[in-house]
């Protein structure tokens, strides 16, 4: 079998289901999923099974791509730790992107966005993911001549704050993402927004391979994007130390 591609493993552990995609040397893209919330116990076995299907082992992975947040605090840490492990094990090059920028890139390629963009050439893209209990992660992006760029910083917003924030923008906005597991965004959006069909299980695993091709390389410490603090960070110092 002729080798054309260095093995690439892509991991999204920012939420459930845990998603893995593998670009094999022969160009095949294999995928694996797990809805088990104990990702710390499941990631390496799942990766080994996926790599085995491609005739590879962990030590043979030369490039790894991860989504570094926002999302589940523990899941983000697991993904970063796994990438650091592979870098030390096999010298794999590590690449990363945020969930929000990857979601925006995928949505910009959809027929729904292209149709909307033709009618709203000055419009923006809002990548929106559900955080917890009527709270959302959101970031605005602009698209000029096919190049995606940040139009604002990523934010952690309540449902009311999200609607107010988007309503305050001058441009029309195309919203991509989800409100809970597969739930539509429309009830949370103001009148200047349009929404695509909700992503039922996050960024598609297959698209992670494409996203890896334009992601930044992490040569040092991988910085997570949490936005929302972990529960222990919201507790008073004394209670956090006692694990209350």
Q: Where are the domains of the chain?
A: 8-97+214-242, 100-195
* Cβ count near 148 (within 10 Å): 16
Question: Which fold does the domain 100-195 belong to in CATH?
Answer: Nucleotidyltransferase; domain 5 (3.30.420)
CB atoms within 10 A of CB 17: 17
Mean pLDDT of 234-239: 52
**Beta-strand pair 18-23/29-34:** antiparallel
Contact criterion met (CB below 8 Å) for 51 and 9: yes
User: If pLDDT is split at 50, 70 and 90, which confidence band does 244 have?
Assistant: very low
DSSP string, 219-238: -SPPPP---SPPHHHHS-HH
**How large is the angle between the packed helices 205-212 and 99-107, nearest 10 degrees?**
100
Fold of 8-97+214-242: Nucleotidyltransferase; domain 5 (3.30.420)
Peptide bond into 9 cis (omega under 30): no
Rounded mean pLDDT of the chain? 90
pLDDT computed for residue 18 by the predictor: 95
Are the folds of 8-97+214-242 and 100-195 the same?
yes
Give 131-184 pLDDT, tens digit per residue: 988 999 999 999 888 789 999 999 999 999 999 999 999 999 999 999 987 789
Which DSSP string do the residues of 163-193 spell out, in sequence order?
HHHHHT-SS-EEEEE-SSSS--SGGG--TTE
């Amino acid at each position: 079998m002729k080798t054309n591609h260095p093995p690439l493993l892509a991991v999204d552990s920012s939420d459930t289901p845990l998603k893995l995609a593998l670009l094999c040397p022969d160009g095949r893209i294999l995928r694996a999923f797990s809805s088990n919330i104990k990702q710390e116990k499941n990631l390496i076995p799942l990766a080994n099974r996926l790599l085995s299907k491609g005739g590879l082992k962990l030590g043979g992975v030369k490039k790894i791509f991860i989504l570094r947040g926002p999302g589940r605090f523990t899941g983000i840490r697991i993904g970063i730790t796994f990438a650091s492990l592979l870098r030390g094990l096999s010298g794999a090059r590590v690449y990363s992107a945020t969930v929000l920028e990857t979601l925006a890139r995928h949505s910009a390629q959809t027929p729904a966005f292209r149709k909307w963009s033709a009618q709203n050439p000055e419009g923006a893209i809002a990548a929106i993911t559900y955080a917890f209990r009527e709270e959302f992660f959101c970031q605005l992006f602009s698209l000029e001549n096919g190049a995606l760029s940040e139009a604002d910083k990523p934010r952690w917003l309540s449902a009311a704050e999200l609607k107010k924030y988007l309503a305050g923008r001058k441009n029309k906005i195309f919203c991509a993402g989800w409100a809970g597991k597969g739930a539509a965004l429309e009830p949370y959006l103001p009148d200047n927004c349009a929404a695509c069909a909700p992503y039922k299980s996050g960024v598609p695993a297959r698209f992670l391979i494409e996203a890896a091709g334009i992601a930044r390389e992490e040569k040092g410490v991988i910085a997570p994007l949490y936005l929302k603090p972990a529960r222990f960070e919201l507790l008073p110092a004394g209670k956090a130390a006692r694990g209350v």
